[in-house]
Amino acid sequence: MIKLLIYDLDGTLIDSRLDIAYAVNWTLKELGRGPLPVEQVSSFVGNGVKNLMQQALKASSPSSLPPLERSIKLFRRRYGEHLLDQTRLYPSVKKVLEFFKDLNQAVVTNKPEDFTREILRGLGIDSYFGRVIGGDQGFPKKPAPEPVLELLGHFEVRPEETLLIGDSQTDVETARNAGVKTVAVTYGFGKRSELESAQPDILLNDLEELTRCPLLKK
């Protein structure tokens, strides 16, 4: 019986691609570089701000890279001021969180904690989560298992009682590394073909399908 649901954030609970892309492209402009397509920026999301900006800088001007730390500071400042301009919950998210409100629910993301908590509050879903772990809280980033293992201890549940829901290969690998079951959603930032090749336990086209999952029958 599943007792703990762990959700990824970007591409799973929230569609944040526009706000992230706008902040990245504002940063590139400040550095004298041209913009990148939204979909290309979205493909860089999932492994933390440092990786996001590394990939964006390489894509915008591979022959001449500015100092990475400056680009990170610029991005964080701009994104922090505009992280709820266009970001929205995916359809069914609020309904699913409410449906499972009697279970333990948590968020594990490589996004910084301050951004994560501000978004959850701003979108009115922060109260559903008993624990939120961001990418800057001292744990190795996903796909390392440590954040998930921390939650298992916090909620006193076993791996077989836990389900991790995400939209990327990284999330599937994280679940596998921690020994928990995994659900991959196809509507997020990850490519369906990559998700299928990662072989999650369950593949969903809509998060609402989770309410009918045999593993989660009440």
Domain end position, chosen among 35, 51, 82: 82
Q: Which amino acid is residue 213, in one-letter code?
A: C
Same domain as 48, residue 150:
no
Enclosing domain of residue 162 = 4-15+89-216
- Note if 19 is an active site residue: no
Q: Answer with the residue of higher pLDDT: 67 or 84.
A: 84
Q: What is the pLDDT of residue 28?
A: 94
- Mean pLDDT, the chain, rounded, equals 94
The CATH code of the domain that includes 34 is 1.10.150.240
Q: For residue 107, give the H/E element and its range.
A: strand 104-108
Q: Which amino acid is residue 131, in one-letter code?
A: R
Q: What is the pLDDT of residue 61?
A: 78
Same domain as 124, residue 93:
yes
In this predicted structure, the answer to whether residue 217 has a pLDDT above a threshold of 90 is no
pLDDT tens digits along 42-79: 999 988 899 999 999 999 876 666 688 999 999 999 99
Domain end position, chosen among 60, 82, 104: 82
Percent of the chain clearing pLDDT 70 (strictly above) = 97
Q: How confident is the model at residue 214 (pLDDT cuts 50, 70, 90)?
A: confident
Same domain as 9, residue 114:
yes
Number of domains in the chain: 2
Q: What is the pLDDT of residue 199?
A: 94
Q: What is the pLDDT of residue 218?
A: 54
144-147, Cβ contacts within 8 angstroms, sequence gap of 24 or more: 144/174, 144/177, 145/174, 145/177, 145/178, 145/179, 147/108, 147/174
In this predicted structure, the answer to whether residue 134 has a pLDDT above a threshold of 90 is yes
